[in-house]
Amino acid sequence: MHIVFAASECVPFAKTGGLADVVGALGPELVKLGHQVTVYLPLYAGVRRQLPEELTYAVRSITIPFASGNRFAGIVDGGCHAGVQFYFVDCPEMFDRLGLYGTDGVDYPDNAERFALFSRAVLEAAKQLGVPEVFHVHDWQTALVPVYLRTTYSTDPALKNAGCVLTIHNAGYQGQFPPTTTGQLLFPWEIFTLDKLEHFDCFNFLKGGLVYADILTTVSRKYAEEIQTPEFGEKLDSVLRGRADDLRGILNGVDYTQWNPATDENLAANYSPEDLSGKKQCRAELLREFGLEKVEETTAVIGIVSRFATQKGFDLVEQIAGELTEREVAVVALGSGEPALEKFFRDWAYWNKTTVAVRIGYDNALAHRIEAGADIFLMPSRYEPCGLNQIYSLKYGTVPVVRATGGLDDTIEEWNPTQGTGTGFKFKGLSPGALQGAIDRALAAFEDRAGWERLMLNGMARNYSWEQPAREYAAAYEEAVSRRRV
């Protein structure tokens, strides 16, 4: 089967979050299953810097009409990587910019036009470079692909039989624009209705994709259930309930070639379930790097690698910070985000110099070292569609403490010291006391060295590779294609 991915980001070319990791890892895994995979990405300024100076065009010019006039895009041949063919949509006035979606936390005002152009360019390019059996589109930025397929291109003999799968990586980001966007993008006004793209008097990209795609997926089983409720559905829950029979929860995999303590080149020492001695060295090096050399071996080290955001639950951490540092723990944190939470972490470290340390920003190598050197990894998210760090933590023998939501709930099993089963600690609700209770259970378990080692090994034995998710996506593609054959 030929599958075309349309996405706004993909490693190693462009990344702001987990979407890029999914697109980058899933394609090669599908190739291993015998499928042909093509990925289309915008030619951002950051992508351009990674390509040869002399670009090779697969298609020199595609005309994309708008109410304000035509724009023109070229299709750059990005070559084949791990069996996946890459193409980049080149439209300098749209994509040759500092950020992917905006700068300084402010979205570009023409994002509707930017990603509408990208979506139409993918469809037009596919007609010349290879129409797939199915388009797999990701999040709001490419959610217009199924809308175009079933409206503007509905009678196009080249495209009318192509299936379409939409993956929701985070329902909180929807692409909402003024009603006039309908005319600007040359859509018929009959799609701007409550049962189609209109949503609270906005033109909603994601809602359009939810209405018109053949199959919907999201990134964990639990999140598929949660987004059908008012609490997590971001006001799209009724639309998602209406398409419940077409919605699949497929847990993200992780790339164990990049995240494996036995081979990780970022670590002070490698280790494995057969020989855990290297983890002690990783812990000692992590504490030295953060200036916490005086922390005792009997003190649990809590690691954090995250965006510092309310969504990630760090306002709960702020509420228990004083009580937590009275316990025998050390905390190392890496991240950036909301100014108020960055200030909290800085202040926490300032007033507790011997037990708390923070780095503001992101450093991939340091993130690996925190995963390896910490004893406990903290993810108290309000919601988490899938989450990857808790899965990395399991592989690194670092015990997760998580809120029971989304992929965190799917991947972490509560530790049962009597039976020796489980992989971490979970809490429900959104109270500081619930979070503190889960941490206290982890600290109590840490005192039992034999039990703790069993807990570590349980996590390290779990397999969350991309092999099984790729098969589930292939099944979703087959279902989407079969619906177009009817």
| Tokens, residue 99 | 């950020």
> Got the DSSP string for 136-177?
EEETGGGTHHHHHHHTTTTT-TTTTT-EEEEEES-TT---EE
- Label residue 20 exposed, middle or buried (CB < 10 Å: 0-12, 13-18, 19+): buried
Q: What is the distance between the terminal CA atoms of the chain, rounded to a whole angstrom?
A: 18
The tally of CA atoms less than 13 A away on the side-chain side of residue 144 is 28
Beta-bridge mates of residue 4: 38, 135
Amino acid identity of residue 9, one-letter, is E
Alpha helices for 102-143 (secondary structure H): 111-129
Write phi, then psi, for 329 (nearest 5 degrees). -140, 155
Return the number of other C-beta atoms located less than 10 Å from residue 32's C-beta: 12
| Residue among 210, 221, 228, 209 at smallest CA distance from 148 | 209
Please, where in the chain does CATH 3.40.50.2000 lie?
2-253+467-485, 277-460
User: What is the topology classification, in CATH, of domain 277-460?
Assistant: Rossmann fold (3.40.50)
Residues of the chain with pLDDT under 50: none
pLDDT tens, position by position, 191-215: 999 999 999 999 999 999 999 999 9
pLDDT tens, position by position, 69-121: 999 999 999 999 999 999 999 999 999 998 999 998 899 999 999 999 999 99
Q: What pLDDT, on a 0 to 100 scale, did the predictor assign at position 486?
A: 67
- Label residue 53 exposed, middle or buried (CB < 10 Å: 0-12, 13-18, 19+): exposed
Q: What is the pTM of this model?
A: 0.93
- Label residue 97 exposed, middle or buried (CB < 10 Å: 0-12, 13-18, 19+): middle
| Cα distances (angstroms) measured from residue 326 to each of 290, 323, 444 | 20, 5, 15
The architecture CATH gives domain 2-253+467-485:
3-Layer(aba) Sandwich (3.40)
